[in-house]
Amino acid sequence: MGNRRQFMLCMGGALAGAAVAPHAAFADPQEPDLIVFNARVHTVDTAMPTAQALAVRAGRFVAVGGADIKALAGKKTRLYDAKGMMVVPGFIDTHNHAGAGGAAFTGNAGGEGLLFDLHVGNPYEVEQVSIASIIAKLKAKAATLPPGTWVLGNFLDDTKLADKRPLNVHDLDKVSSDHPVGVVHRGGHTFFVNSKAFQMAGVTRNTPNPFGGTFDKDANGELNGRVTDRAIAALAKAGKREQFTPAQREKRVMDGVAFISAKFAQYGLTTVHHNEDGALEAIQEQRRNGKLKHRVSYEVSGDLLEAMIRNGIESGFGDEWIRLGATAEHMADGSLSERTMAMSQPYIGMPASYHGNLTETQEDLNKWCERVHRAHIQLNCHANGDVAIDRVLTAYERALKLMPRANARPKITHCSQMTPALIRRIKALDAVPSMFSTYPYYNSDKFHFYGQQAMEHMIAFRSMLDAGIKPAAGSDFGPGPFSPLMAIQAMVTRTGWNGETWGASQKITLDEAIRVNSFNGAYNSREEKDKGSIAVGKLADFVVLAEDLHTVAPSKIKDVKIVQTVVGGQVMYQA
């Protein structure tokens, strides 16, 4: 699936979209395709915050207001009685590894990992699993593969183990002595392997840690099986992978795209920023097949990014369904959930000398940012800790000073640990943070590694909003679940599944949380004129909820039923 073909396909879609004048539909709103009435519409539009009805024609809102909108119905208009249910703008996830966690090692794309990987944990919800169950699943998989072939498990969550201890090399040695065995943490920054994997990679207790990664040791100085960040590359070069024919590979990706798109619609997502590689052609193909249920902002890296730079293709190229967005996250440091992000302070319960992993030098980061920015491609760097965020902002400030440009909106993926100085710099750049959305609920069992004081400045939605910054919701799936309602609950309560509340000063209001998950997501990709709120002229993307979130106990928001997800006026999910 060559890059040239990918661009031709994408260009064809863009030209097809340009051939239709969508705004022409607004001249005559008398025959809407759809009218929703008797609803509690939360518009996220400051000009009209609430409404009772809306009308759609040619995929866009043509009327928003009171009950009189129903009178616009013609003979062919579909009428939907919301029966007092809540209607909100379609939810937007601005950071999603749709191929699932660990794609850098597994090579998964487009939902493929969800369909075909061996899952050792639950991708969607909190679930405790035992190490024995992980060993059993891996053993069964090993029995189907020839010796020397990797046996891989995905979606491990180290703090969701019923054994209350980490997975280690000795556990994985029980799986096989003939196969390299690896378990990918759902966060994607740590990898747990057996002795055979170390042997095949030539890694011993004396192997030095590479820049930006570690081979972790036990109390006796022996390899404990945990490998972090850039050190994972040494393991990736070893052993053989399960083999698929080109036809099998294509089918896996195609099936994965259809599967995950349906899942996104089920959870109320109408736009998702895909931070992955290798799925663009399948996404376009499934659009033609009618199986693409959500809009895509495709974030590029590698050969596709180079092709964009070489051919003068800028961010925003495409149409209303599939658009080339920012770059994929360019790594500056490690992970919050796996405790490898680069911080100025040490981690609690870890060696005082360890402050996380920086994965790129300032010089290299400066060069990369300048080159991408000069190509009119929206910058996007992964930075969790304050040390890494400082470096990314330095590179962004340098690039924009060398080539000033309005509405550049450089993106910072995660942007987790804040200080007042960093917030001022983010505001000055109009940088757009894509911040962990479901983490305060799902990963509350990890925050003791940071402590309450640090968590008051972590995933800092309150501080961002107060400064006039527009932070958006980024689930980081597979590392975090992608449920927007779980995200909204997390933002409003800062209370996790285990009842622990961390960083209560960063709570935001319900209306702010809905806006973060809708309008701010559109702003993140410079699409706020087309999506993010329910207003005349905008794309008709909305979600019908069984209950008004304003009347639900905050601790129950994630459990509210998604009744319908509508994209461009078409029902993509019906409960």
Say which range, 11-20, 298-307, 514-523, has the weakest mean pLDDT. Answer: 11-20
Average pLDDT over all residues of the chain: 92
Comparing 255 with 18, which gets the higher pLDDT?
255
Q: Please report whether residue 540 resides in a domain.
A: no
> Is 11 a residue whose pLDDT tops 50?
no
What is the C-alpha to C-alpha distance for residues 485 and 561, in angstroms, rounded to an integer? Answer: 9
> Is 222 a residue whose pLDDT tops 70?
yes
Q: Please report whether residue 514 resides in a domain.
A: no
Confidence class of residue 306 from pLDDT cuts 50, 70 and 90? very high
> Which residues have C-beta within 8 Å of that of residue 238, sequence separation ≥ 6?
180, 197, 200, 201, 202
Q: Please report whether residue 146 resides in a domain.
A: yes
Domain that holds residue 185: 103-236
Whether the link from the prior residue into 478 is cis, omega within 30° of 0, is yes
Q: Which amino acid, residue 227?
A: V
Q: Please report whether residue 474 resides in a domain.
A: no
Q: Please report whether residue 296 resides in a domain.
A: no
What is the C-alpha to C-alpha distance for residues 301 and 308, in angstroms, rounded to an integer? Answer: 10
Q: Please report whether residue 224 resides in a domain.
A: yes
**355-382 average pLDDT score:** 97
Specify the CATH number for the domain of residue 173.
3.10.310.70
Q: Kindly give the interhelix angle for 3-18 and 302-311, rounded to the nearest 10 degrees.
A: 60
Query: What is the pLDDT at residue 27?
Result: 37
> What pLDDT, in 10s, does the model give residues 494-528?
999 999 999 999 999 999 999 999 999 999 999 99
- Of the candidates 453, 479, 194, which has an alpha carbon nearest to the alpha carbon of residue 340? 479
Query: What is the pLDDT at residue 2?
Result: 40
23-37, 109-123, 265-279, 519-533: which is most confident: 519-533
Number of domains in the chain: 1
Which run of H or of E encompasses 389?
helix 386-402
- Give percent of the chain with pLDDT exceeding 90: 85
In whole angstroms, how far apart are CA 257 and each of 110, 125, 254, 345, 402?
5, 21, 5, 41, 39
What is the C-alpha to C-alpha distance for residues 518 and 191, in angstroms, rounded to an integer? Answer: 34
> What pLDDT, in 10s, does the model give residues 445-479?
999 999 999 999 999 999 999 999 999 999 999 88
Q: Please report whether residue 337 resides in a domain.
A: no
- 53-57 and 34-37: which strand pairing? antiparallel
